Chain A
């Protein structure tokens, strides 16, 4: 073992930029394949918006995975519940939603999103206490319990709201596109991208600038040692789980507005994408999750445009390729 004396300079840790460069490289590589700059810009903007929404939904799940090694297959329930709560809140305010004033639209939309987060977060508390607490450390039972929980949640939504698709129209001021030259970028996609970036920055600030963040990062790496320092990691985990559930609720509202509809099984397809993002990002890595979400969205959008028949399997192929390159994901945090 090579030892360093106190006076030796430490080797500078290498900044691992390869994963950051990957989406940039992918975006550049597809330019000649797409042919039209305006189509490329529209697809790239769509990818960023979709990626940010997936990131919001997946960020909590990756910390839950990384921190407590819990496989939560029921994460999609928080997405659907968040979206349904938004329809409840927004229904009486349809006039305000369709008013031609951005502020009036946001005055309704923001409280709806916050309430959706609160309800999803509270549901997260119940799920953690009732379904997950009894099966810590037992992966198979976690899968069974959380999958069962997802089925129960979906059926409860069917029972309460019926099987029909509920429309959730975008507010008037977020309809349409910004036209720059011959490029059209949907206004809502810009808003979704900004919200996603804000969530990413907020999570990074908490993780890197607060003692709570230090505890979460340390817990993801070695939860046993965090406990040996005197911290109750189960409480920390509960907080992370509730926050992740609340973010999934927010993502559900944003996705429902993006699709302008809500239905009980809306999270089924999303859950697959979210798990792919969490796995290729590296369990417990917020940075990896962020890049993974953008990559997944890019592959879905570019792939859907270039080779529509491949769209169904494109993200699975992406996951295979990334795991062959980095078997523990883009940024490996845990040793699991």
Chain B
């Protein structure tokens, strides 16, 4: 299995704060890699650094054999990276349709792709011409993910998609992400919801204080309660 994304010794400074302190990680092609860790561990910074929203001050980021650190965010996006930020960042003044029209950078909306998306996000079809700002939190999250997958992407960076959502919506999102996985997508997924992490993850990376402190198979972590408690301070079982 080839590695689609590799980070080697990546450091990121935000102002005078040294957030990422030498990150080494790989995201294998076609797999979902979970990035777990406590609040403030550097998970969001890792995604933003990959996306070029914050520049790495040191280290290498390689996407599909090409170095992308130091490149501008639009250039990275055009290399096939989709980004779903923690804040969802839907354009609230635009309709659902307009949000997706913008996301379909390379041309008009593809009906087949739209039907596939509507299959697990029927609300988006129903509210097609409604302003995104009037959607509920869960629907905004659906739109945010739909925007990232409206065109084929090499890699999806998704930041806490289940945060603040009702359990029923979380289950729907998990099913959606499983479907995206089945289509062969490569995903780097930051998640605080351990149930979602166990359902979706092939491999797992755990961060603490700006470094990766554990890497392995998700199934192994899910089965090892003492390891969960040592690395995360909590067990997966306690979160179900």
Contacts and interface: CB of A to CB of B under 8 A. Distances in A.
Partners in one complex: yes
B238 interface: no
B228 interface: no
Given A4-B123, A217-B91, A231 B137 contact: no
B91 A13 contact: no
Contacts of B102: 211, 214-215, 218, 226, 229, 231
Contact of B127 (A10, A217, A233): A10
Contact of B92 (A5, A6, A221, A232): A221
Max chain A C-beta neighbours (<10 A), residue from B85, B102, B135: B102
Given A3-B168, A3-B169, A10-B127, A227 B137 contact: no
B53 A1 contact: no
Given A3-B166, A230-B77, A13 B131 contact: yes
- Chain B contact patch, size range: 35 or more
A217 B164 CA distance: 27
B166 A227 contact: no
A181 interface: no
A214 B133 contact: no
B195 to A, nearest CB: 18
A228 B83 contact: yes
Contacts of A222: 89, 91
Contacts of B74: 227, 230-233
A1 B164 contact: yes
Interface stretch (B93-101, B174-182, B214-222): B93-101
A10 B51 contact: no
Interface residues of A, number: 28
B72 A229 contact: no
A229 B133 contact: no
A221 B51 CA distance: 19
Contacts of A3: 136-139, 165-166, 168-169
Interface string B143-170: 0000100000000000000001110110
A214 B91 CA distance: 10
A6 B126 contact: yes
A269 B6 CA distance: 57
Given A4-B123, A227-B73, A228-B85, A211 B101 contact: yes
A214 to B, nearest CB: 5
Contacts of A4: 123, 135-136, 138-139
Contacts of B73: 224, 227-228
A229 B147 CA distance: 9
B134 interface: yes
A217 B94 contact: yes
B184 interface: no
Interface in B83-114: 83, 85, 89, 91-94, 98, 101-103, 105
A214 B98 contact: yes
A221 B53 contact: no
A13 B51 CA distance: 34
B122 interface: yes
B78 to A, nearest CB: 5
B77 A218 contact: no
B168 A225 contact: no
B193 interface: no
B93 A221 contact: yes
A211 B106 CA distance: 12
Given A6-B123, A214-B98, A225-B91, 5 more contacts: A4-B138, A13-B131, A13-B133, A221-B91, A226-B102
12 contacts: A3-B139, A3-B168, A4-B136, A6-B122, A6-B126, A214-B102, A218-B102, A224-B53, A225-B85, A227-B77, A230-B74, A233-B74
- Which 6 pairs across A and B sit closest by C-beta, in order of nearness? A230-B77, A6-B123, A225-B89, A227-B73, A6-B122, A218-B91
